[in-house]
Amino acid sequence: MKKLKLLGERMSKLFFHKITLTIIVPIFAISGLILAGISMASSPSTSVVQNQGAGICGARVSPYNYQVPFGNAPWNVPVCGLEKHPRSDDYSNRMFTHGTYNDGTPATANNIGKFTVGFGFEPAEKNWTRAVYYASDATTTKKVQTCANNCLMSNFDDGANIYSPKAWLPDREFPWNPKWEVAAAGDNELIIIDEAKGLLYSFTSVKTGVTAFTQCFPWDQNRLCASSAHILRDHNGKVADYRTFEGSDGSRGGGINYFATLLTPEEVKAGEIRHALGMAIFNPTFGPECTKQELNANNANTIDVTCGTTVAPAAKFENAHLRSIGDRFPNLKNLPIDKTMTLSKTVPEGMRFALDIDDSYITNWINSRPDLKSNPQKAKTARIIATALRDYGWMPLDTSGNSAGIQTAGGMSEKNRKLWNELGITSEKDDNILQGLITKDNIYAIEPPVNNCIDGSKSEYFC
């Protein structure tokens, strides 16, 4: 086993392949077998990817004043020295060619290799980004109400009893500011962070006005209406500190917390992104779910070809019940793409990708872009994101209705919008900041870590 060449004693110790990074999963959030831990293990049949990041990968900016959440979770581990996936070419091609909607017609040819960053400058009704707010900006407190019909019980109080009124009318209050706004295009996701206490609150399908009356009927107007409301907890049900917690809470498509892997303007302002970036893609895998026997056989002609799965550190398989892309998007049902978008063109959530590029490549790319050359601050932001895609990579963790897009703390927050403006991001056009950076030849896929499951088994797939 090779020792990885990394800066600092702490980083060197972290990256021995035998190191185990414990992932604790709350049992109330995920059905099926629960993860007990994750090992950054290597496969003898794979090769170590070498690029300029090897040896100086990540943590190059000093001083650095942004606290990366979730401790030493696998997505916070730099990729340099990690093993290349034996099916890297296959999965990379799937990501590049079909990550954004591509039905094979000339009309969608330009979508091949299209990757965006959702900065969230659209109007609320067209905005899909996550609204992130901080307790330090709150002016009061509030309670939440989750709808009692086809919604998820809240774990604010305990989350243990689905028949308890506290499952949808919890007593716990959370920081609030009446000026806070949430995107309204669909998922309507809200994250509230109490930095001083280490508390992380997450909400989905937040509704206001008439839509709140419909979703949360009978609605207590003194409460926030949402379809789910969670506070980060560990597997014992104890409220967890998001700053050091290294697990999953079963939220989001891949089962990883909504705030984990999220691109924030604060970290870009700090000069460096020190984690993999979460991405929503059009083509995550669907069912039928691979059996244990099929996974153990590890046949490249079966896994994600005739059956689907997700890989560590993903903690669930959100699309296991689907059998086609049309099942996920009813408007595509019976269209040609519903037949042509087979499992062999999909990507498992949790799969990590990165760019095999060096600093000179990034510089040349920036110089090839007139919009970046003419805007030094925007160019600096582009360089920081590009470097992160090299040193930490990205992971598909959600389903997108169209574009393969990096998920951000978006512009629905006035504070975030101002920060993005300071960083050279000023309009929806800047969502295309990655144009020309990613090519079919510079993407590679990384061997997943190994899940240590609660029954004592080990797997590179979700437990």
Residue with more model confidence, 408 or 164: 408
Interval 33-45 mean pLDDT:
43
- The whole-angstrom separation of Cα 316 and Cα 310 is 7
Least confident window among 16-20, 192-196, 269-273: 16-20
Which residue in 101, 122, 123, 126 sits closest to 112, CA to CA? 101
Helix (H), strand (E) at residue 95: helix 88-98
Above pLDDT 90, what percent of the chain? 74
- 167 confidence band (pLDDT: 50, 70, 90): confident
Residue 239 belongs to some domain of the structure: no
SS (H, E, C) 108-131: HHHHCCCEEECCCCCCHHHCCCEE
Spatial CA neighbour of 348 closest among 395, 278, 402, 291: 395
**The pLDDT of residue 445:** 99
Q: Which of 231, 265, 296 is the last residue of a domain?
A: 231
Q: Is the pLDDT confidence value at 9 over 50?
A: no
**CA end-to-end span of the chain, whole Å?**
26
Domain ranges, residue 209: 125-231
Same domain, 301 and 354: yes
What pLDDT is attached to residue 345?
A: 98
User: Domain for residue 244, yes or no?
Assistant: no
Q: Give 397-436 pLDDT, tens digit per residue.
A: 999 999 999 999 999 999 999 999 999 999 999 999 999 9
Q: What percent of the chain has pLDDT over 70?
A: 86
Length of the chain: 463
Q: Tell me the pLDDT of the chain averaged across its residues.
A: 87
- Name the residue among 185, 202, 290 with its Cα closest to residue 242: 202
The more confident residue out of 427 and 30 is 427
168 and 28, same domain (yes or no): no
Q: What is the pLDDT of residues 111-136, one digit of tens each?
A: 999 999 999 999 999 999 999 999 99
Same domain, 87 and 171: no
Give how many domains the chain has, as a whole number.
2
Confidence band, pLDDT 50/70/90 cuts, at residue 160? low
Query: Are the CB atoms for 247 and 238 separated by under 8 Å?
Result: no
- Domain assignment present for residue 325? The answer is yes
User: 266 with 55: CB under 8 angstroms?
Assistant: no
Mean pLDDT, residues 155-176 taken together: 85
Indicate whether 449 belongs to any domain: yes
Q: Is residue 306 part of a domain?
A: yes
The answer to whether 128 touches 183, Cβ cutoff 8 Å, is yes
149 has pLDDT over 80:
no
What pLDDT is stored for residue 38 in this prediction? 54
How far apart, in whole angstroms, are the C-alpha atoms of residue 49 and residue 57? Answer: 12
The verdict on residue 300 lying in a domain is: yes
Residues 87 and 188 in one domain: no
Q: What is the pLDDT of residue 453?
A: 67
Residues 92 and 160 in one domain: no
SS3 state at 327: helix
286 and 182 both lie in a single domain: no
Summarize pLDDT for 269-310 with one digit per residue, the tens. 999 999 999 999 999 999 999 999 999 899 999 999 999 999
The interaxial angle of helices 376-391 and 359-367, nearest 10 deg, is 150
**305-364 confidence digits (pLDDT tens):** 999 999 999 989 999 999 999 999 999 999 999 999 999 999 999 999 999 999 999 999
Which uninterrupted H or E stretch holds 383? Answer: helix 376-391
Q: Are residues 101 and 154 in the same domain?
A: no
SS (H, E, C) 252-307: CCCCCCCCCCCECHHHHHHCCCCCCEEEEECCECCCCECCHHHHHHCCCCCECCCE
What pLDDT is attached to residue 226?
95
Do 346 and 459 reside in the same domain of the chain? yes
Please indicate, yes or no, whether residues 134 and 282 belong to a single structural domain of this protein: no
In this structure, are 187 and 267 located in the same domain? no
Q: For residue 187, is pLDDT > 60?
A: yes
Return the higher-pLDDT residue of 180 and 22.
180
**Model confidence band, residue 31 (pLDDT cutoffs 50, 70, 90):** very low
Q: Does 17 or 236 have the greater pLDDT score?
A: 236
> Which pTM value belongs to this model?
0.88
Identify the pLDDT of residue 162: 64
pLDDT band at 8 (very low <50, low <70, confident <90, very high): very low
Unique residue bearing structure tokens 């060449």: 5
In this prediction, residue 159 has a pLDDT band, given cuts at 50, 70 and 90, of low
pLDDT the model gives residue 219: 87
Q: How many CB atoms lie within 10 A of CB 65?
A: 10
Report how far residue 49's alpha carbon sits from residue 447's, in angstroms, rounded to the nearest whole number: 11
The answer for 296, left when phi > 0, alpha when psi is -120 to 50, beta otherwise, is alpha
Mean of pLDDT values over 199-211: 94
Lowest-pLDDT range, 29-33, 178-182, 234-238?
A: 29-33
Domain membership flag for residue 64: yes
pLDDT (0 to 100) of residue 152: 80
Q: What pLDDT is recorded for position 148?
A: 65
pLDDT in tens, 214-230: 899 888 999 999 999 99
User: Please, which pLDDT band fits residue 49 given cuts at 50, 70 and 90?
Assistant: very low
Decide if pLDDT at 52 tops 60: no
Give the pLDDT mean for 63-79. Answer: 96
Name the burial class of residue 311, with classes exposed (0-12), middle (13-18) and buried (19+) by CB atoms within 10 angstroms of its CB: buried
User: 95 and 147 in one domain?
Assistant: no
Q: Is 416 helix (H, G, I), strand (E, B) or coil?
A: helix
The whole-number pLDDT of residue 151 equals: 79
Domain closes at, from 201, 231, 261: 231
Residues 262 and 139 in one domain: no
Omega before 63 cis (within 30°)?
yes
Q: Which of 230, 229, 238, 130 lies closest to 182, judged by CA?
A: 130
Decide if 242 is inside a domain.
no
Res 36 pLDDT > 80: no
Instruction: Name residue, tokens 């290597």.
Output: 42
* pLDDT reported for residue 450: 80
